[in-house]
Chains A and B, each alone.
Chain A
Amino acid sequence: MSSCGNPIAEDAALMPRRFKFDKVRDCIKCKLNPGNIVIRHAVYCKDCLTPLVTLKFRRALEPLVNASSGTSKRPKLKASGSLTLGFSGGLGSSVLLDIVYKTYFANQPSVDPSGEPRGGANHPRNTNVWSSCAVCYVEVCNAFTETRDRTEEIRTALAPYPKFDFIPLRLEDAFDASWWSKVATTPDQSQLGLELGKDGLCTEGFHLAACPTLPPAAALRSYLASLPTQTAVSSAIKVIVRLLLLYTARSRQSSHLLLGTSLTTLSISLVSSISQGGGHSILEELQEEWTCGGESTTSEKLNVIRVVRPLRDVTMKECAAFGWWNSIAVVGRDKQARASAGIPGLTQDFIVGLEKDYPSTVSTIARTCAKLEPKSASRGSCILCQRPLQEGLEDWKNRISIRSYSDAKLTSDLCHLPLLAPFGASELSTPPHQPPSILTHLCYSCQATFTSRSSRGPKPAPSSIDVSGALPLSTPLPVWVSANHTRPHVAHEELVMSANGEIWYQKKQGEAENQSVVAKFLLDT
């Protein structure tokens, strides 16, 4: 076995440089043209790359277009609702936008000699797969200082796609009652907030409390500033963006929400999500069927929104080359505005570096995660991120955590309040001063978002988040957190705030439960 020697001492000892492509420089697809790009050791020419990317896009999307697969091997594509497309101005979403437009919306139906569509305007051949498409952009500038509003740049970038409706959203819409009234039918209770522990140590429970009414942008900043780490801030922004898109899609009766996540960014988000405690909902990170509150009733089956990532088999390098050779404008964003601080940023650096040296490993991450299944069953959905809620989470946490102090006074001082009973389990025995806990309604990932403390000490004064003035005692929550408690089919419980700021439970009892309560008072007939 030959040795590489000492590369510093002897130049000749360096190993010969390996090429990053297999065998020849010609395109492996057409075998005619000289290659232009190397994709996972395979060489493609410019002409073959575009159909290759389009094919991967269609292969990922089209099996999920029709509501039911039916029996036909090649069913005619017809979605049950409209289409919503999440657009960030980044590379992946710009490529996605262009492909969707050219594939499903740009082509006009063929016309007969009289100029009318062949077979008539209502002929199935002449109808689009989706009736309409809305492009949603979420502006995040109010979450960061020194970040400018790019909404108008995005509007300009969408000018070449006139058949798409542009819906500008803002991150602070998540705290805006007027936005909520447009997209949802349930009443707004945005005056509810999250009460943290006295010293910010909120490991012993989260309590819904009265929250002073703040303007949406201030509420957003207050919410982000209350989070303990930069990782938590990135994670919270990602959750808010996702739910803003989903609720907007629902308000437009959309059947599909498309995201421009490429294979590389999918691998990054999978690893990042697992490392932040989101392993239970790893399949939702790949592909999701979302209904408000997580459980669909019969009447809501039609309102299921499929979240699809059609570029999940296309690497970022393919996207970049495709975009460049097809003259697709990419607006681009600052690193700060991409909310990639903390674990997401570190994961991105790791995986992008990995892709450079070992291009095939990135697809291995995504394919391996697609085979994973959660170990335990789900019970409903998390009220914050609306992903599946793990069964027995509290029991598991109680088993692995040291959660009691020997000194009762210290306990009281540090934890503000003792651990509460599960939500709605014993309302009658709950002391009147004790606010309701939402602990059991949060998934592990969201609990970690609120509680994880950096091993390097507390979060430094946020340079990227402008916190003007002192934080209020309770932190505002996104509007859907409290609003979803009013949904009778999710939980027969309701949070109501009275005029004097008290929070009440209302619980609708079932008929059997009613009968058992009054049974001893009933007269035998």
Chain B
Amino acid sequence: MSTIDLTIEFGGGLELLFGNVRSHAVSLPTRVPASNSTTLSPPVSTTKPADVDYLIHHLRDHVLKERPELFMEGDTVRPGILVLINDTDWELEGEGSYQLCDCDEIVFISTLHGG
């Protein structure tokens, strides 16, 4: 199965939830379950290209160290977390439906850590 390599960065204090490590290297399969399930289950029939929605679920299930409720709300990131895809606001890139490419850099910045 082919994979794509991504660089994930956390800022604004969000790294506290990820073991206080700001930068992570993550590999994802090019095709992922459409349900965004990240468990190692038998091959599913319905798949889709790896996108940011799947990446968020992957980070929650495999990288996050504590308090998932501060990272995700529903099926997306919590309001107050800015997502940059290759230095561009994810609202300009289609948010969670952006299809990941090899060597993409995804940044998650928390804006909720006070004034």
Partners in one complex: yes
Interface residues of A (CB under 8 A from B): 19-21, 25, 34-38, 43, 46, 88-93, 259-262, 264-265, 311, 316-317, 319-321, 323-325, 330-335, 338, 348-349, 352-353, 355-356
Is B16 part of the binding interface, using a Cβ–Cβ cutoff of 8 Å?
yes
Q: In the complex, which residue of chain A has the Cβ closest to the Cβ of B76?
A: A356
Q: How many A-B residue pairs lie within 8 Å, measured between CB atoms? A: 105
Main secondary structure of the interface of B (DSSP, over half): mixed
Q: In the complex, which residue of chain A has the Cβ closest to the Cβ of B17?
A: A332
Provided the pairs A317-B82, A330-B11 are in contact, do residues A20 and B91 lie with their beta carbons within 8 angstroms?
yes
Is B112 part of the binding interface, using a Cβ–Cβ cutoff of 8 Å?
yes
- Alpha-carbon distance between A352 and B114 when the two chains are bound, in angstroms: 12
In the complex, the answer to whether B115 meets A88 with C-beta atoms within 8 Å is: yes
Chain A CB within 10 Å, residue with most, of B16, B87, B110, B115: B115
Contact residues in A for B3 (Cβ distance below 8 Å)? none
- Alpha-carbon distance between A34 and B115 when the two chains are bound, in angstroms: 30
Interface residues of B (CB under 8 A from A): 11-16, 70, 79-80, 82, 84, 87-89, 91-92, 107, 109-115
In the complex, the answer to whether A259 meets B115 with C-beta atoms within 8 Å is: yes
- Alpha-carbon distance between A432 and B16 when the two chains are bound, in angstroms: 57
Known contacts A90-B114, A332-B14, A352-B79; 15 further A-B pairs (Cβ under 8 A): A35-B92, A36-B87, A36-B88, A38-B91, A90-B13, A91-B113, A260-B115, A261-B115, A311-B115, A316-B112, A320-B110, A321-B82, A330-B12, A330-B13, A332-B113
In the complex, the answer to whether B115 meets A352 with C-beta atoms within 8 Å is: no
Provided the pairs A37-B89, A38-B91 are in contact, do residues A320 and B82 lie with their beta carbons within 8 angstroms?
yes
In the complex, the answer to whether A352 meets B92 with C-beta atoms within 8 Å is: no
Shortest CB distance A453–B (Å): 28
In the complex, the answer to whether B114 meets A338 with C-beta atoms within 8 Å is: yes
In the complex, the answer to whether A324 meets B84 with C-beta atoms within 8 Å is: yes
- Alpha-carbon distance between A37 and B89 when the two chains are bound, in angstroms: 5
Q: In the complex, which residue of chain B has the Cβ closest to the Cβ of A92?
A: B115
In the complex, the answer to whether A317 meets B13 with C-beta atoms within 8 Å is: no
18 A/B residue pairs, CB under 8 Å, sorted by A: A25-B92, A34-B88, A38-B91, A88-B114, A90-B13, A90-B113, A91-B12, A91-B111, A91-B113, A91-B114, A316-B112, A320-B12, A323-B11, A324-B12, A325-B87, A332-B12, A348-B112, A349-B79
In the complex, the answer to whether B114 meets A317 with C-beta atoms within 8 Å is: no
Contact residues in B for A265 (Cβ distance below 8 Å)? 114-115
Shortest CB distance B77–A (Å): 10
In the complex, the answer to whether A332 meets B84 with C-beta atoms within 8 Å is: no
Q: In the complex, which residue of chain B has the Cβ closest to the Cβ of A25?
A: B92
Which 10 A-B pairs have CB atoms at the shortest separation, nearest pair first?
Answer: A332-B13, A90-B114, A92-B115, A316-B111, A356-B79, A352-B80, A37-B89, A265-B115, A320-B109, A90-B113
> Of the candidates A37, A316, A331, which one forms a contact with B80 in the assembled complex, judged by CB atoms under 8 Å apart?
A316
Contact residues in B for A320 (Cβ distance below 8 Å)? 11-12, 82, 109-111
Shortest CB distance A153–B (Å): 11
Shortest CB distance B109–A (Å): 4
In the complex, the answer to whether A353 meets B109 with C-beta atoms within 8 Å is: no
Q: In the complex, which residue of chain B has the Cβ closest to the Cβ of A43?
A: B92
Provided the pairs A21-B92, A46-B87 are in contact, do residues A324 and B114 lie with their beta carbons within 8 angstroms?
no
Shortest CB distance A21–B (Å): 7
Shortest CB distance B103–A (Å): 19
In the complex, the answer to whether B92 meets A332 with C-beta atoms within 8 Å is: no
In the complex, the answer to whether A352 meets B91 with C-beta atoms within 8 Å is: no
Shortest CB distance A40–B (Å): 11
Contact residues in B for A25 (Cβ distance below 8 Å)? 92
Provided the pairs A93-B114, A319-B111, A324-B11 are in contact, do residues A334 and B16 lie with their beta carbons within 8 angstroms?
yes
Contact residues in A for B84 (Cβ distance below 8 Å)? 321, 324
Contact residues in B for A335 (Cβ distance below 8 Å)? 70, 112
- Alpha-carbon distance between A261 and B115 when the two chains are bound, in angstroms: 5
> Of the candidates A21, A34, A323, which one forms a contact with B91 in the assembled complex, judged by CB atoms under 8 Å apart?
A21
- Alpha-carbon distance between A286 and B110 when the two chains are bound, in angstroms: 24
